[in-house]
Every structure is written in structure tokens, then in C-alpha cells.
Amino acid sequence: MDRRTFLISAAAASAVPFAVQAAGFVDYTPGAIDAALAEGKTVFVDFSATWCSTCKRQERVINALRAENPDYDSKLTFIKVDWDTYKSADVTTSHNIPRRSTLLLLRGDDELGRVIAGTSKSQIKALMDIGL
């Protein structure tokens, strides 16, 4: 492979994760989760902090899974709740969220599952698969 082909291939391959990350999560605002649930959507909620290394690892795994399976984006609504802003707010306390790096899956009035501080691909995938 010549240098030009290699550079073009490397640039194209590196752009894929950024496209998924750009689609990313909807930033939480009060009422956003309830509104999505009222529309009949299945909501994947990520309680995270920008400084949290566990949260960053979870986000990388989630983005990789979303890149592998487009059904996640078509069937789940992803909402990120900033822990530093909302750790004492109703969105956190009403769902009994114990800490940042908690992932929650909701549909209607039901909690379908949660992962607390888990970073394994299989654990996060199992949670996301429940929503499909």
C-alpha cells in the first residue's frame, strides 16, 4: 500500500467514531426524559461527570456499540445527565441514582435495567439490548 492510500484509509477510518460521537447524547434539561417517555420512546440515561474516568470509558463503549449496531440509535433515545449539575435534582433522586457512572434504561413507567460503574462491553451491551 502506498503512503497516499494509507493516509486516506486512516483518515476515513478515524472519522467513523467521530460521526457516532457527534450524534452522541442529548444533554438533559428538566422534563426531557419525561417528554421522551410520553412520546413512547425507550430512553437510555447516562448520569456522568466530565471529570469521571469511569464515565468516559462507558461513553467510549456506548459509542462503539452504537457504531456496530444502528438499531440502537433508531430504537433508543440517549440522554446525558450532568452529575455535577443534577446530582441533587429530582431526576437523580426520583430514580435512586447512587452515583455518577450510572446507566439507566427506561420505557413508560418502567425501569428496564441499570448498570452502576460497569465498563465492560458485554454488560453495557446487555443493557442496551433490553431496549431493542
- C-alpha cell of 73? 440509535
In a domain, 19, yes or no: no
In a domain, 8, yes or no: no
In a domain, 17, yes or no: no
In a domain, 2, yes or no: no
Count of domains forming the chain: 1
In a domain, 93, yes or no: yes
For 110, the enclosing helix (H) or strand (E) is strand 110-116
CATH number at residue 100: 3.40.30.10
> Residue 79: is its pLDDT beyond 90?
yes
Q: Domain residues for 46?
A: 24-130
In a domain, 40, yes or no: yes
What is the maximum span of the chain, computed from C-alpha positions, in angstroms?
Answer: 58
At 25-69, the pLDDT tens digits run 999 999 999 999 999 999 999 999 999 999 999 999 999 999 999
In a domain, 13, yes or no: no
Q: Rounded to two decimals, what is the model's pTM?
A: 0.81
